Chains A and B, each alone.
Chain A
Amino acid sequence: MVRKTVESSIAIAEAVKNCEPDVVACYPITPSTHIAETLAKFYADGELKNFIATESEFASISCICGASAAGGRAFSTTSSQGLALMHEVVYAAAGMRLPVVMVVGNRALSAPLNIWCDHQDSIAERDSGWIQLYCESSQEGVDSAIQAFKIAESTMLPTMVGVDGFYLTHTVEPLDIPTMEEVRKFLPKFQPQVRLDPENPISMGEYALPDTYQSFREDVHKDNLAAKSRIVEVDKEFEQMFGRGHGGLAQGYKSDDADYVFLAMGSVIGNAKEAVDELRAKGKKVGVVKIRSFRPFPEEEVRKLLEGKKHVAVFEKSYSMGSFAPVYADVINSLYSLKKRPVVSSFIGGLGGKDVPVKTVLEIFKTIRKREHMRIWV
């Protein structure tokens, strides 16, 4: 492992390079551009096998799907509008069971135009069949990029790693980057069961009639759910090898005996932990629950982590216009089978880079201690 004080994007790119992808295809978009640029430089320096600078994000994801179908390990990175432009291919990649990996520098969607962080870009792809991991820290971004290849290639499901735009793409901090030799021990060579091969011709991406279409979709759903155990295993294997894990599917922080819990995804978890430490010092029984895997959604883990709590604040940087916030809705559904359910409130905030300081988390804790159920934008 090499410790470097670098911009997170550079460390993520180096981690991806050390996974030895056969094909990387990228198109620039803030805030994921630096990952693409760094990979392009690796290619120019002869350290990466291939780099395709495409004419659009739509082409980038199509290129990596073609590369994967031909038996190669493939990677791309994007954000926001880029991911939205990829949308059609995002669904096709999952349906065709192409285990490609993408790092998404999470960013708000237009309009209005905004380049800063929220989760709406990848949340808008939540139903596609992709595995979606959301990272708390830059180090988790680096490590999850490596884990993603192992998860994807063993489940044959494409995997998306969400790193909060700017917070986890542009910060400079000391980061531990597994070397190529170390990654080789962790990540086996990609050897797909089926691929495009003239020696053994198969047809991929066929068209399905009403008598078969649904069963393809059901398979993706079931396999996505079944990937839960794989995500946990891979994180454990990573921890054994590198000395740090990132919480598998979901993880509590001082939440065991807590009455009040702040549940969220992404970099806001850092501030939430600080707020909890502050309140714990004053004797308040508060805790944090971090959702790392949003797809598959860790229903059982969430139920276990939240059972017996008085009031849970689900804070999220995403929305579903005209309905319940996405993470909130999944938490509520997960708790429905409990006889005694905690009160769960929805807080939408941090959209388009709106700051969510420790103070905001403290206010949310104050609010849920005082008030009944609510669904508000903060």
Chain B
Amino acid sequence: MEEYFSPGHTACAGCGMPIVIRHALDVIGKDVIVVNATSCLEIVSSAYPKSAWGVPYIHSLFENSGAIAAGAVASLRVQGNDHTKLVIFAGDGSTYDIGFGVLSGMLERNDDVLYICYDNEAYMNTGNQRSGSTPFGAATTTSPAGKVKHGKTQWKKPIAEIVAAHKIPYVATASIGYMADFENKVRKAKDLKGARFILVLSPCVTGWNYDSAKTIELAKLAVDTGLWMLYEIEDGKFKLSHRPQQFKAVADYLRMQSRFKHLNEDEIKFIQEHVNKTWAEMK
């Protein structure tokens, strides 16, 4: 099997992001153009004159990948190419926050682009600052655990739901802890037309601060605790992809990561109750 994202990139040991990219490209194949928002991915894969990319790749800026892809796909189609797929790989910072307007424009126009957000829940490229994706309670350098504030005081922005509100053909959430599910979603999304969006949880060793051997375990635990829900919204129809038979305690997940180490029992209970309530509403 040909590798479209080569070894030799400089991502940290245990980083979830290269796993996302490799598996997504394995499914998508070589007839693709990758658009990448400024992120760790761009830094680890494209330091001139080297490149880890075996498929055409363009990085422009932090917050414009939705529009770069929209223009590129329009250009290809006008030139008579009706087959090459446009795939965006962007982090949560550019997706939830700074590129949000451009993303919304791309979704509203239903541009023929597959947008894959690898979500590591903070600005990791600049050294772990809070984003709209950072979960409640997580300590980052701009939502530190202090004497008065214990990490981020807001919940995570429900980006997949906001994206789905644009009524695009396909929205899904995934986790690299459930790789077959992620690959199936990429497989389904790649052949659909119009704007498609997959949000995939991708642990960050340095930002979340955990044992780098446990990336997949952690990504799986996020799902098994109910903190990260796997679902699809296809043509407006919501479908749960996975319901844990026996939910694990959120504390099991939180205690594996230093970003949550400051949380007291009451705070962990508060998060657990939030998860319980979310799932109760799912019935």
Interface residues of A (CB under 8 A from B): 22-23, 25, 49-50, 52-56, 58-60, 62-72, 74, 88-89, 92, 96, 196-198, 200-209, 212
Known pairs A25-B71, A66-B69, A196-B33; A59 contacts B64 (CB<8 A): yes
Q: Does B43 contact A (CB under 8 A)?
A: yes
Q: Which residues of A contact B59 (CB under 8 A)?
A: 203-207
Tell me the bound Cα distance from A138 to B198 in angstroms.
Answer: 48
Contact (Cβ within 8 A) A23 B56: no
* Chain B min CB distance to A155 (Å): 20
Of the listed residues B31, B56, B63, the one surrounded by the most CB atoms of chain A closer than 10 A to its CB is: B56
Partner of A198, one of B51, B69, B84: B84
10 closest A-B pairs by CB: A66-B71, A55-B105, A72-B75, A63-B71, A62-B67, A67-B75, A66-B68, A66-B72, A62-B64, A67-B71
Contact (Cβ within 8 A) A66 B67: yes
Contact (Cβ within 8 A) B75 A212: no
Known pairs A22-B79, A23-B74; A63 contacts B47 (CB<8 A): no
Given contacts A23-B74, A59-B66, 13 further A-B pairs with CB under 8 A are A22-B79, A50-B74, A59-B102, A63-B71, A66-B67, A70-B72, A70-B73, A70-B79, A96-B60, A201-B54, A203-B53, A208-B48, A209-B48
Q: Which residues of A contact B210 (CB under 8 A)?
A: none
Tell me the bound Cα distance from A49 to B47 in angstroms.
Answer: 36
Of the listed residues B47, B49, B60, the one surrounded by the most CB atoms of chain A closer than 10 A to its CB is: B60
Contact (Cβ within 8 A) A62 B47: no
Known pairs A205-B60, A206-B46; A55 contacts B102 (CB<8 A): yes
Contact (Cβ within 8 A) B75 A22: yes
Q: Does B163 contact A (CB under 8 A)?
A: no
* Chain A min CB distance to B236 (Å): 22
Instruction: Kindly report which residue of chain A lies nearest to residue B32, judged by CB atoms.
Output: A198
Q: Does B218 contact A (CB under 8 A)?
A: no
Contact (Cβ within 8 A) A70 B75: yes
Could you show 7 A-B contacts with beta carbons less than 8 Å apart?
A25-B67, A55-B108, A58-B102, A66-B67, A96-B60, A196-B58, A205-B59
Q: Which residues of A contact B48 (CB under 8 A)?
A: 206-209, 212
1/0 per residue, CB under 8 A from A, across B66-105: the answer is 1111111111111100001000000000000000011011
* Chain A min CB distance to B66 (Å): 8
Contact (Cβ within 8 A) A70 B51: no
Q: Does B214 contact A (CB under 8 A)?
A: no
Contact (Cβ within 8 A) A52 B74: yes
Contact (Cβ within 8 A) A71 B102: no
Tell me the bound Cα distance from A55 to B55 in angstroms.
Answer: 29
Q: Does B42 contact A (CB under 8 A)?
A: yes
Tell me the bound Cα distance from A154 to B6 in angstroms.
Answer: 34
Tell me the bound Cα distance from A58 to B62 in angstroms.
Answer: 12
Q: Which residues of A contact B33 (CB under 8 A)?
A: 70, 196, 198
Q: Does B109 contact A (CB under 8 A)?
A: yes
Contact (Cβ within 8 A) A92 B58: no
* Chain A min CB distance to B24 (Å): 16
Q: Which residues of A contact B75 (CB under 8 A)?
A: 22-23, 50, 66-68, 70-72, 74
Instruction: Kindly report which residue of chain B lies nearest to residue A200, judged by CB atoms.
Output: B56
Contact (Cβ within 8 A) A202 B78: no
Contact (Cβ within 8 A) A196 B60: no
Tell me the bound Cα distance from A366 to B121 in angstroms.
Answer: 67
Contact (Cβ within 8 A) A64 B60: no
Contact (Cβ within 8 A) B58 A205: yes
Instruction: Kindly report which residue of chain A lies nearest to residue B111, judged by CB atoms.
Output: A52
Tell me the bound Cα distance from A89 to B60 in angstroms.
Answer: 8
Tell me the bound Cα distance from A283 to B214 in angstroms.
Answer: 89
Partner of A70, one of B66, B76, B105: B76
Q: Does B192 contact A (CB under 8 A)?
A: no
Contact (Cβ within 8 A) B70 A52: yes
* Chain B min CB distance to A86 (Å): 10
Of the listed residues A71, A72, A203, the one surrounded by the most CB atoms of chain B closer than 10 A to its CB is: A203
Tell me the bound Cα distance from A196 to B56 in angstroms.
Answer: 5
Tell me the bound Cα distance from A197 to B70 in angstroms.
Answer: 16
Tell me the bound Cα distance from A58 to B42 in angstroms.
Answer: 21
Known pairs A92-B61, A201-B53; A196 contacts B72 (CB<8 A): yes
Instruction: Kindly report which residue of chain A lies nearest to residue B54, judged by CB atoms.
Output: A201
Q: Which residues of B contact A92 (CB under 8 A)?
A: 60-61
Contact (Cβ within 8 A) B58 A66: yes
Tell me the bound Cα distance from A89 to B72 in angstroms.
Answer: 15
